[in-house]
Amino acid sequence: MRRGNIKVEYRRMVFRNSIIIVLLTLVGIGSSACRKKVARAANDPLNQAYATEPNWNDPDKVIPLNYQETQGQRVFYQYCVWCHADSSPAGPSNRANLTPSPALMNDGAKLNGLSDEYLRNIITLGGSAMGKSPMMPAFGKTLSQQEIRAVIAFTRAIADPPYKRPARAGSQYSAR
């Protein structure tokens, strides 16, 4: 009888302990597996923008700019804005003075059809080299190629109607 008791108790103990071990292990793994999910901030495109530019045709709308486009924005407002916008930081624009009238930099209808390469050439070499008005000076010695690419990227970003990049591998923006 005594032996039987020991045997039964021993059996119970082993059973109880193994259940506890299994449960503890499961609880441990389960708790580490259940990561707390934090809601990520709503994906506001302006949160991912290096800088912004108001839409020229609708100043209430804001266009997000990335790093390259922001550098283009700076170059544009220093060198190009005087003739390629209808108002300038100093007041009125020189655009109305000129014939032929220079393109507005956000004129998608006019600029979207021109390739990046064409724009890069006309900025680098000037109007007369491309069979256009000599009033457009050559900026190849004033701006670096990187700055010229940035201005083009800025133009594309503010284009209205919006610019769609042609699906083609090896974009010029490799820039490296």
Interface residue list for other proteins (CB under 8 A): 3, 7, 11, 14-15, 18, 21-22, 25-26, 29, 33, 35, 38, 40-41, 46-52, 66-68, 70-71, 74, 78-79, 82-83, 90-94, 97-98, 128, 133-135, 137-142, 146, 165, 169-171, 173-176
Q: Which two tokens stand for residue 8?
A: 């039964």
Q: Which is nearer to other proteins, 49 or 103 (CB)?
A: 49
Q: Is-contact 86 174, C-beta < 8 A?
A: no
Q: How far is the CB of 149 from other proteins (least distance, A)?
A: 9
Q: Which is nearer to other proteins, 47 or 58 (CB)?
A: 47
CA distance 157 to 164: 10
Q: How far is the CB of 40 from other proteins (least distance, A)?
A: 7
Q: Which is nearer to other proteins, 62 or 160 (CB)?
A: 62
Q: How far is the CB of 7 from other proteins (least distance, A)?
A: 7
DSSP result, 117-144? HHHHHHHHH-TGGGTS-TTS---TTTS-
Q: Which is nearer to other proteins, 44 or 113 (CB)?
A: 44
Q: Which of 87, 82, 74 shows the shortest CA–CA distance to 153? A: 74
Alpha helices in the chain (DSSP H): 2-33, 67-75, 81-84, 108-111, 116-125, 145-158
Q: How far is the CB of 48 from other proteins (least distance, A)?
A: 5
Q: How far is the CB of 146 from other proteins (least distance, A)?
A: 7
Helix axes 67-75, 145-158, angle to 10 degrees: 100
Q: Is-contact 75 105, C-beta < 8 A?
A: no
